[in-house]
Chain A
Amino acid sequence: QKEVEQNSGPLSVPEGAIASLNCTYSDRGSQSFFWYRQYSGKSPELIMFIYSNGDKEDGRFTAQLNKASQYVSLLIRDSQPSDSATYLCASRSGGYNKLIFGAGTRLAVHP
């Protein structure tokens, strides 16, 4: 069974701090990984994808991938209250862009 695991949280950080969200996956054959943000009652929206070992930066967001450890993370710098949401980690598995999702980590940024 291919799985993606995330800590459900909530992860609470003060405004302006760095939020660190983590994810592990079981399928060593997975090549691409995605972070989605989901506000309550809304659909998931793509934040970033990563497929190479190392770091990938986009604005306040940095995705990190370590294939040897089967570990993906998302760092959010200068966290804002508007970042409060559930963050879903997903791996692409089995072709046709099918994604396996983790259960999500709820992030709460407090002023």
Chain B
Amino acid sequence: NAGVTQTPKFRILKIGQSMTLQCTQDMNHNYMYWYRQDPGMGLKLIYYSVGAGITDKGEVPNGYNVSRSTTEDFPLRLELAAPSQTSVYFCASSPDAGSGNTIYFGEGSWLTVV
């Protein structure tokens, strides 16, 4: 009963370092997303993917990159980490569009950039 799995759960980065947040889902969902949530704020969409090999920018893509080589995996790459990227990152997935279909979240990755 895994659902959406994210790693790592916690990470501290130094300014200028790079890292990859891993995300995998076992529900055979075509749609996958990366959101970030700053304290006291709602979730903001960073990038999304509608299938293997297809990705697109969301509301706040600057400083991030993604790839989607398989249906299951959707890693998020942070290049040259900045303090403004300190946040909680949620990966999510969804079945294809339908009136009731919504997205299901992983447990989150807490990232601090110092």
Residues of chain A touching chain B, judged by Cβ–Cβ distance below 8 Å, are: 4, 6, 8, 31-32, 34, 42-46, 49, 51, 88, 90, 92, 95-104
**Are A97 and B105 in touch, CB under 8 angstroms?**
no
**Are A97 and B100 in touch, CB under 8 angstroms?**
no
Residue numbers in B under 8 Å from A44 (CB-CB): 43, 90, 105
Measured in the bound complex, the distance between the Cα atoms of B30 and A95 in whole Å is: 13
**How many positions in chain B have a CB within 8 Å of any CB in the partner chain?**
25
**Are A31 and B99 in touch, CB under 8 angstroms?**
yes
Q: Mark B72-114, 1 if CB is under 8 A from A, else 0.
A: 0000000000000000001000100101111111111000000
Residue of B nearest to A86 (CB): B40
Measured in the bound complex, the distance between the Cα atoms of B102 and A88 in whole Å is: 14
Shortest beta-carbon distance from A90 to chain B in Å: 8
